[in-house]
Amino acid sequence: DIQSPGIYIGDPSNQEFFFSVTDSDLQTKGCNKADDYDKFWAIGGIVHNITVEFYTDTNFDPTLNQQVQLSSSSNYLYSFKAYSPGTKVVDHSNHIYVNFTLNNVKLTLPTCFTSILTGPSVNGSTVRMGEYSSGTIKNGASPVPFDISLQNC
């Protein structure tokens, strides 16, 4: 189990998480039978999702296709190791290194850009929609008119 908000690349190097056996058959037929030094059971694996988010600022100058790559100062992104797996298997506990390359990733940008946003509730690039309760919306809240003009479509 990993606590919220998760583990992020760039966080402190040591993060703590826990493996747990939730199936009683695995516990009794697997873990409990690993009862001497060189006897251990593989009872699962690591399942994880990786999300890579790209952020831009006002200096970003989009082109039709932008190539990016993930920088790394190592030959792997992160690793797992159970430092306290139990006295009977401690010598068998090794790092699991996780790596993948994100070289030459093409970001395809939207085909349209907002050039003009107009209407009585518009202030710059913000449309003031107002505040409504769910009941007001359900019963037909007043519409907030605004127009978006697109370019390069």
The number of C-alpha atoms within 13 Å of 129 and in the hemisphere containing its C-beta is 5
**Between 25 and 31, residue with greater pLDDT:** 25
C-alpha span between 104 and 145 (Å, rounded): 42
- What is the pTM assigned to this prediction? 0.42
Give me the phi and psi of 108, to 5 degrees please: -95, 120
pLDDT of residue 129: 84
Residue 115: closest CA among 62, 60, 153? 153
pLDDT of residue 101: 74
Where do the structural domains in the chain lie, given as residue ranges? 1-109, 113-151
